[in-house]
Amino acid sequence: MVPLPKTLVLPDGTLIPGSVRRRCSISALARLSNRPRTAVVLSGGEGVRLRPITSDLPKGLVKVGGKPLLQWVVEWLKANGVSNIVIGVAYLKEQIIDFFGDGARFGVKIQYSVHTVPGGTSEGFSLAISRYVDDETFYALNGDQITDLRLDEMLAKHLKSGTVSTIAVIHPRLPFGLVKVDKHDYCRGFLEKPVLKDVNISTGIYVFHHEIVKHLPRVGDVERTTFPKLSKAGKVAAFRHRGSFITINSLRELEDAEKRLRSQAH
């Protein structure tokens, strides 16, 4: 028997790694050939924990590793085959719109959906999807990550699960060291910023079926409203990401991100 090639090339030029093919049904692979080209990215928050930097600058334009955080996201989406990006904007939205424009200089098409800061991620996603997204399946994310996550692998997991939403999860790394203390109150060991391998946290990167709109409340955050409700009905899958993931939500995380990016460059 002639062995199958390690990577399958679909008619539209999409590359399907062997590791993904082995986990997919034939019907799922067929749908992958028409994989999503649209992503909704929220970048409307005030970035309070990044102040004073964000006092007059939107979080998405805070520089890390020499370029704005949101530019990392746009370039990563393009590298993963996404060509249509809808950015949900609110706080200091004009600066983001002026910087990215129509997306042409980044090789993508960018549209903007304005929402309110108090409306949270639920309002941001709901308005952006209702206004600009016709795709049955698409990506959605909070625009504050730098990662090497492969969206085609995440999509394959989503299609196989048949759920309304799939969330990329990772094992968290504590920002501080742990001290092992025995029952007699003696220190027995130290762990410097350990990874908690028995815990998973959301990366804020999702695959959505368009049906998600029906489950988004008018205001609130999806991880406190929509996801708990859908999870009880078995409609949320998890994709375990084991690669690099950096998120910037505070001045400390910004400093750590700079150090990690410098170390990866050498």
Residues 6+ apart with CB under 8 A from 68: 60, 61, 62, 99
Compute the distance between CA of residue 15 and CA of residue 8 in angstroms, rounded to an integer. Answer: 6
Q: Are 85 and 110 in contact (CB under 8 A)?
A: yes
Q: Which parts of the chain register pLDDT below 50?
A: 1-5, 7-16, 19-31
Q: What is the pLDDT of residue 99?
A: 96
Task: Tell me the three state secondary structure of residue 127.
Answer: helix
Rounded to 10 degrees, the C-alpha dihedral 146/148/153/155 comes to: 20
Q: What is the pLDDT of residue 34?
A: 63
Q: Are 156 and 23 in contact (CB under 8 A)?
A: yes
Domains along the chain with CATH numbers? 35-171+202-265 (3.90.550.10)
- Residue 218's CB is within 10 A of a number of other CB atoms, namely 9
Strand partners, 40: 86, 140
Q: What is the pLDDT of residue 176?
A: 80
Q: What is the pLDDT of residue 5?
A: 46
Residues 6+ apart with CB under 8 A from 147: 76, 203, 205, 241, 243, 244, 245, 246
